[in-house]
Amino acid sequence: MREGFKSVLEFLEVDLEIEEEQEHLYNQLATISKDAKVKETFQHLARAAKGHKDALGRIIRDIETDNHDVSFYCLMCGWEIDFGKMPSVGNEERCSLCCQKFALVDVDNDYTTKFLPQ
Ligand SMILES: [Zn+2]
């Protein structure tokens, strides 16, 4: 498991399972539907669930292969603060909008940020 992403990966895995179950269920319902419009609706929902499942799978693979930026929203102004790919705990970044400085910290294998004095 990639350092710093423990909870994120757990959430993504649960979401992936839900999308897989939905895709399977919608395909089953499309198969047994007699009404053409209902069948088409379930086929559309199955394709949407597959799209979500594929997107979640790509995010998980990117995290597991260290090809994912570590970024947070600034706690002062909401602007994005990007620590880049494979950052080290303790790295410091400054919000490009409000100039607040943050350090990257790890709490129980989850990355988070800490305010630093200006
Ligand atoms: Zn800011």
Question: What CATH number is associated with residue 97?
Answer: 2.20.28
CA of 86 to the centre of ligand 1 (A): 22
Residues 6+ apart with CB under 8 A from 16: 53, 56, 57, 60
Tell me if 82 is assigned to some domain. yes
pLDDT score for 92: 97
User: pLDDT tens across 9-42, in order?
Assistant: 999 999 999 999 999 999 999 999 999 999 999 9
User: What is the domain range of residue 102?
Assistant: 69-116
Domain count, the chain: 2
Cα of 39 to ligand 1 centre, how many Å? Answer: 49
- Mark the residues whose beta carbon lies below 5 A from ion ligand 1: 74, 76-77, 79, 95, 97-98, 100
Q: How far apart are the CA of 94 and the centre of ligand 1, in A?
A: 8
